[in-house]
Amino acid sequence: MRVVNDFTSKTDEGTSRRGFMASGLTPFGAMPRIDYICANGLFRRHLGNIAQLESGRIFCRHGIDHLLDVARIMWIKNLEEQLEFDREVIYATALLHDIGKDEQYESGISHDVASERVADAILGGMPDDVA
């Protein structure tokens, strides 16, 4: 998946993931909504801004590694507690939950408020055949 492959250069573990990404396999399987989110220009712009603003941080960066870690933890919790949430909903939620972090750093707005607004804009532009 090209979009996820593009993220590897910005991740802490990019070098270890590069081989997997080069294989052409997608870590998301058949999740077109997730592909849409990852390819979305607004999502990519905010993720890039967050990476720049957190470049001096050693721990707890809010890049794609963190977002996918959150998705995996949510998926495990979903399975263990038999919550029956859709996998794609879990991954979409995880990918978007911190997407407003850059606005928190730049203007002081609460990241949950900013993330909700950005997520609305991203999801609101999703084509009907994907949604």
pTM beyond 0.85: no
Question: Residue 28: what pLDDT?
Answer: 58
List the chain domain ranges: 31-124
With helix as H, strand as E and coil as C, how does the chain read? CHHHHHHHHHCCCHHHHHHHHHCCCCCCCCCHHHHHHHHCHHHHHHHHHHHHHCCCCCCCCCCHHHHHHHHHHHHHHHHHCCCCCCHHHHHHHHHHCCCCHHHHHHHCCCHHHHHHHHHHHHHHCCCCCCC
Question: Residue 102: what pLDDT?
Answer: 98
> Which is more confident, 1 or 87?
87
Give me the mean pLDDT over the 37-54 stretch: 96
> Which is more confident, 77 or 29?
77
Residue-wise pLDDT for 3-36, tens only, equals 444 444 444 444 344 444 444 444 556 899 999 9
Average pLDDT, the chain: 84
Residue-wise pLDDT for 52-73, tens only, equals 999 999 998 999 999 999 999 9
